[in-house]
Amino acid sequence: MTDIVAGDPIAGHYELLVQSVAEYAICMLDLEGVVSSWNAGAQRLKGYAPNEIIGEHFSRFYTAEELAAGIPALALQTAAHEGRFEAEGWRVCKDGARFWAHVVIDPVRLPDGTLVGFAKVTRDLTERRAADEALRRSEERFRLLVQSVTDYAIYMLDPEGHVVSWNAGAERFKGYTADEIMGAHFSRFYGEEDRAAGLPAHALETTRSKGRFEAEGWRLRKDGTRFWASVVIDPVHDGAGTLIGFAKITRDLTERRRSQHALEQAQAAFHQSQKMEAIGKLTGGVAHDFNNLLAAIIGSLDLARRRMAEGADVGRFIDNAMAAAERGATLTQRMLSFARKQELKLETVDPAALVRGMADLLQRTIGNGVRIDTRFPLLLRSVHADPAQLELALLNLAVNARDAMPEGGGIVIAAQEEKVRAGGDLKPGSYVRLSVEDNGTGMDAETLARATEPFFTTKGVGRGTGLGLSMAHGFAEQCGGKLALHSAPGEGTIAELWLPASHADAQSPAPADPQPRPADAAAPLVVLAVDDDALVLTNTAAMLEDAGHRVLQASSGRQALQLLAEARIDVIVTDFAMPEMNGAQLAEAAAAGWPDIPVLLVSGFAELPEQMAIHLTRLTKPFRQDELLKALRETVGSRHSAQVVPLKRA
Mean pLDDT, to the nearest integer, of 642-646? 41
Cα separation, 544 vs 611, whole angstroms: 31
Mean pLDDT, to the nearest integer, of 442-465? 67
- Mean pLDDT over each residue of the chain, to the nearest integer: 81
Segment of 11-15, 118-122, 134-138, 247-251 carrying the highest mean pLDDT: 118-122
Same structural domain for residues 611 and 469?
Answer: no
Domain count of the chain? 4
Mean pLDDT, to the nearest integer, of 192-211? 92
Q: What is the pLDDT of residue 513?
A: 45
Q: Give 649's pLDDT tier (boundaries 50, 70, 90).
A: very low
Is the model's pTM score more than 0.75? no
Q: What is the pLDDT of residue 123?
A: 93
Contact 465, 291 (CB under 8 A): no
Q: What is the pLDDT of residue 283?
A: 57
Cα separation, 597 vs 380, whole angstroms: 51
Q: Give 540's pLDDT tier (boundaries 50, 70, 90).
A: confident
Q: What is the pLDDT of residue 519?
A: 44
Same structural domain for residues 355 and 485?
Answer: yes
Q: Which residues contact 120 (CB under 8 A, 6 or more apart)?
A: 25, 26, 27, 28, 29, 58, 103, 104, 105
Q: What is the pLDDT of residue 252?
A: 86
Q: What is the pLDDT of residue 278?
A: 55
* Position 84 in a domain: yes
Q: What is the pLDDT of residue 648?
A: 38
* pLDDT at residue 549 tops 90: yes
* Position 297 in a domain: no
Same structural domain for residues 349 and 492?
Answer: yes
Antiparallel, parallel or unpaired: β 599-603 and 617-620:
parallel
Contact 427, 463 (CB under 8 A): no
Cα separation, 152 vs 148, whole angstroms: 10
The closest alpha carbon to 175, from 229, 222, 225, belongs to 222
Q: Please give the residue range of the domain that contains residue 598.
A: 526-637
221, 252, 283: which is the final residue of a domain? 252
User: Between 601 and 368, whose confidence is greater?
Assistant: 601
Q: Give 538's pLDDT tier (boundaries 50, 70, 90).
A: confident
Q: Which residues contact 40 (CB under 8 A, 6 or more apart)?
A: 19, 20, 21, 22
Cα separation, 340 vs 272, whole angstroms: 23
Same structural domain for residues 356 and 489?
Answer: yes
Cα separation, 600 vs 619, whole angstroms: 7
Cα separation, 632 vs 520, whole angstroms: 10
* Position 303 in a domain: no
Contact 351, 382 (CB under 8 A): yes
Contact 159, 244 (CB under 8 A): yes
Mean pLDDT, to the nearest integer, of 177-200? 91
For 628, phi then psi, to 5°, come to -65, -45
Q: What is the pLDDT of residue 572?
A: 94
Contact 247, 233 (CB under 8 A): yes
The closest alpha carbon to 361, from 406, 328, 409, belongs to 328
CATH number of the domain where residue 613 is located: 3.40.50.2300
Q: What is the pLDDT of residue 454?
A: 62
Contact 85, 101 (CB under 8 A): no
Q: Is 75 exposed, middle or buried (0-12, 13-18, 19+ CB in 10 A)?
A: buried
92, 124, 156: which is the final residue of a domain? 124
Contact 28, 119 (CB under 8 A): yes
Between 327-336, 440-449, 506-515, 534-543, the lowest mean confidence (pLDDT) is in: 506-515
Contact 42, 99 (CB under 8 A): no
* pLDDT at residue 277 tops 70: no
Same structural domain for residues 137 and 238?
Answer: yes
Same structural domain for residues 356 and 470?
Answer: yes
* pLDDT at residue 96 tops 80: yes
Between 162-166, 338-342, 471-475, 604-608, the lowest mean confidence (pLDDT) is in: 338-342
Cα separation, 326 vs 320, whole angstroms: 10
For 610, phi then psi, to 5°, come to -60, -30
Mean pLDDT, to the nearest integer, of 214-220? 90
Q: Each residue of 524-534: pLDDT tens digit?
A: 899 999 998 88
Same structural domain for residues 491 and 364?
Answer: yes
Q: Each residue of 129-146: pLDDT tens digit?
A: 888 887 777 766 666 666
Cα separation, 362 vs 408, whole angstroms: 15
The closest alpha carbon to 109, from 101, 117, 98, belongs to 117
* Position 432 in a domain: yes
Cα separation, 40 vs 33, whole angstroms: 20
- CA dihedral sign of residues 328, 332, 335, 337: negative
* Position 67 in a domain: yes
Q: What is the pLDDT of residue 395?
A: 85
* pLDDT at residue 90 tops 90: yes
CATH number of the domain where residue 247 is located: 3.30.450.20
Cα separation, 284 vs 289, whole angstroms: 9
- Using DSSP's 3-state secondary structure scheme, residue 493 falls into strand
Length of the chain, please? 650
Strand partners, 217: 229
* Position 279 in a domain: no
Question: What are the start-end ranges of the E strands in 110-260?
Answer: 115-124, 153-157, 213-220, 226-237, 243-252
- The H-assigned helical ranges of 358-506 are 359-366, 387-403, 445-450, 468-478
* pLDDT at residue 59 tops 70: yes
Same structural domain for residues 81 and 30?
Answer: yes
* pLDDT at residue 47 tops 90: yes
Cα separation, 567 vs 560, whole angstroms: 10
Give yes or no for a cis peptide into 72 (omega within 30° of 0). no
User: Between 23 and 290, whose confidence is greater?
Assistant: 23
Same structural domain for residues 139 and 206?
Answer: yes
Same structural domain for residues 481 and 361?
Answer: yes
Q: What is the pLDDT of residue 293?
A: 66
DSSP string for residues in 49-86: -HHHHTTSBGGGGB-HHHHHTTHHHHHHHHHHHHS-EE
SS3 per-residue string spanning 558-626: HHHHHHHHHCCCCEEEEECCCCCCCHHHHHHHHHHHCCCCCEEEEECCCCCCCCCCCECEEEECCCCHH
Mean pLDDT, to the nearest integer, of 298-324? 79
Same structural domain for residues 422 and 458?
Answer: yes
Q: Give 510's pLDDT tier (boundaries 50, 70, 90).
A: very low
454, 485, 500: which is the final residue of a domain? 500
Q: What is the pLDDT of residue 268?
A: 67
* pLDDT at residue 643 tops 50: no
* pLDDT at residue 83 tops 60: yes
Cα separation, 612 vs 644, whole angstroms: 10
Between 268-277, 360-369, 421-430, 473-482, the lowest mean confidence (pLDDT) is in: 268-277
Q: Which residues contact 182 (CB under 8 A, 6 or more apart)?
A: 163, 164, 165, 166
Cα separation, 107 vs 77, whole angstroms: 10
Strand partners, 185: 162
Cα separation, 398 vs 436, whole angstroms: 7
Cα separation, 288 vs 128, whole angstroms: 63
Contact 62, 72 (CB under 8 A): yes
Q: Each residue of 373-386: pLDDT tens digit?
A: 999 998 899 998 88
* pLDDT at residue 505 tops 60: no
* Position 228 in a domain: yes
Cα separation, 462 vs 106, whole angstroms: 62
Mean pLDDT, to the nearest integer, of 363-377? 85
Contact 288, 365 (CB under 8 A): no
Amino acid at 142: F
For 215, phi then psi, to 5°, come to -160, 165
Q: Each residue of 320-358: pLDDT tens digit?
A: 778 777 777 766 665 655 554 455 678 899 999 999 888
* pLDDT at residue 461 tops 70: no
Same structural domain for residues 158 and 63?
Answer: no
Q: What is the pLDDT of residue 598?
A: 92
* Position 79 in a domain: yes
